[in-house]
Chain A
Amino acid sequence: MAAALEARARGIEVLLLDENLAPGGQVHRAVGGFHRPEPRAPGAAQAREGLRLIEAFRASGAEARFGATLWAVEEDRTVTWSEGGVAHRARAGVLLLCPGAIERPLPIPGWTLPGVMGVGAAQILLKSAGLLPEGRVWMAGQGPLLWLYAAQMLAKGGRLAGILDLSPPGGWKRAALHLPAALTAPGYLLRGLGWMARVRRAGVPVIRARALAAEGGERLTHIVFDGRREAAELLLLHDGVVPNTQITRALQGCAHLWDAAQACLRPVLDGWGNTTRPGVLVAGDGAGIGGARAAEFSGRIAALEAARRLGTLTGEQRDALAGPLLLRRQAELAPRPFLDALFPPLPAADIPDETLLCRCEEVTAGRVRAATALGAQGPNQLKAYLRAGMGPCQGRVCGPAVHAVMAAARGVPPAALEGLRTRFPSKPVTVGELASLA
């Protein structure tokens, strides 16, 4: 939305395709609708920012299509998307992809049972439908979103049986080194500490744990951690978020690298957001996790570069307009090394063999390790051995976990493995949708 606003301000014609049903992405989802926090409630300031952005976007003159699923990008930047069962095509002078983030998988034994979901998923239910968890509700994992959601749901009258803190020990000590940089943007830290304090005030038990498993038959009934067994109706897992690279990885010639700190693939970009494919840019968390505010600045910076590419700005004009935005983005990114050190992704080597890694094809970590011992070098070869990453989700969920487990099994850094390749169409397409293109 920020990129569309900036592009419109530079006189560029904009077509925005959004798979969601309404503007706002995940962070500003349903803001002004169901997501209407009380003025001092957790997330309220961010919701106000989102509302302002959406209002400005609606007035910008950008053409927007919601419920529009992009599923192919061609060499000449012709994009194909489906909307209400009908496919459409358009050619872009410049294509800016803003695929956002998805939750990093936190594979534990039993995580495929109905009743085990992501913390982000529960937050989406709260924002889009006003749903609050009830019964024996547990949260487990680590990261800012876990504490934000816990604070949000408690403020709305939700209850929690407990939070299992799975963060690797020594977090504050590891992170201390990065504290001075993080303190240049103190708002982030203060908000985070505020969420944690709210959870403690509510009397929710916060239990440090290492090993966790979910149990049940038709649905979740119990969780087991460090030798304890507790009744559970709902278990919400979280281990941070990773860039959604499903589209960019399918683009031939669009290079990606393994980000060691965030344990995920991300596209190789210059400071403007240019990928290694001419005329294709990426902005927001899809480029590397930076949060909603940094995403806004990345979007505006990328739009200025798009304007230069399209000839409505000279290089010098672009540089002058981008200067303050680049500084503000840098300021928003200041707390990231601190957060990465405080909540480093959980080690893949610790995932028990019986855990399903690939949920779609039901492939366990043990089978992935066995195939690796037989000679499978990386996630792409593994497909021929086990079909991991070839089910309906096409590796969206298991991708980072399979990659990290294979690297650990081979005893090499994850960067040494080629990332899982993806193919268009990025989402299932019906024959009817294909026929609608003819």
Chain B
Amino acid sequence: MFRRSGPTDCTIAWEGREIPARAGEPLAAALLAAGIAAFRETPVSGAPRGPLCLMGACFDCLVEVEGVPNRQACLVPVTPGMRAAPQRGARGAL
């Protein structure tokens, strides 16, 4: 889907799987570069979704970051060792 034109300098964990990344880039870019197209499942029908806009408007790139749900992956900068996972449905009550 996408390939990198520059080097990576760290790794992050997506559902426990290690993927290469570059510190400071948007988390969404690191996931897409690793071939991950679906970031979440919708609360309405459970359909898979990936990012549409990458500028904080569409909310289709929602993921869990370090256990915190509903984070917009396009606005979260990568830090080395960051742990992220898909957002499945709506966030829990607590």
Which residues of A are at the interface with B, using a C-beta cutoff of 8 A?
A: 19-21, 26, 34, 67, 69, 102-103, 111-118, 120-121, 124-125, 128-135, 156-157, 218-220, 233-234, 244, 359-362, 391-393, 396-397, 428
Contact = CB atoms under 8 A, between A and B. Distances in A.
B33 interface: yes
Interface class of chain A by DSSP: loop
Interface in B17-54: 22, 24-26, 29-30, 32-33, 37-39, 42, 44-45, 47-54
Across the A-B interface, give the 5 residue pairs with the lowest CB-CB distance, nearest first.
A114-B50, A129-B29, A114-B37, A392-B59, A121-B54
Contact of B53 (A103, A112, A129, A428): A103
Interface of B: 1-6, 22, 24-26, 29-30, 32-33, 37-39, 42, 44-45, 47-60, 62, 70, 74-75, 77
Contacts of A130: 4-6
B1 A125 contact: no
Given A121-B54, A219-B37, A397-B58, A134 B1 contact: yes
23 contacts: A21-B77, A69-B75, A102-B53, A103-B53, A114-B39, A117-B54, A118-B53, A120-B53, A120-B55, A121-B51, A128-B25, A129-B29, A130-B5, A132-B5, A133-B1, A134-B2, A157-B5, A218-B38, A219-B48, A234-B2, A360-B59, A362-B45, A396-B58
B3 to A, nearest CB: 5
Contact of B32 (A116, A125, A392): A125
B54 A131 contact: no
Contact of A26 (B22, B45, B52, B55): B55
B56 A359 contact: no
Best-surrounded residue of B32, B52, B57, B60 (most CB of chain A within 10 A): B52
B49 A131 contact: no
A130 B3 CA distance: 9
Contacts of A360: 42, 44, 59
A397 B53 contact: yes
Given A115-B1, A129-B30, A244 B57 contact: yes
A390 to B, nearest CB: 11
A102 B29 CA distance: 19
B4 A129 contact: yes
Contacts of B3: 131-132, 134
Contacts of B33: 129, 131
A233 B3 CA distance: 13
A114 B38 contact: yes
Nearest to A124: B54
A115 B33 CA distance: 12
B1 A359 contact: no
Contact of A362 (B22, B32, B44): B44
Contacts of A134: 1-3
Best-surrounded residue of B38, B49, B54 (most CB of chain A within 10 A): B54
A132 B75 CA distance: 20
B60 A131 contact: no
Given A112-B49, A117-B53, 15 more contacts: A21-B75, A26-B55, A34-B25, A102-B55, A117-B52, A117-B54, A118-B52, A124-B54, A128-B29, A129-B6, A129-B22, A129-B33, A134-B3, A219-B48, A359-B52
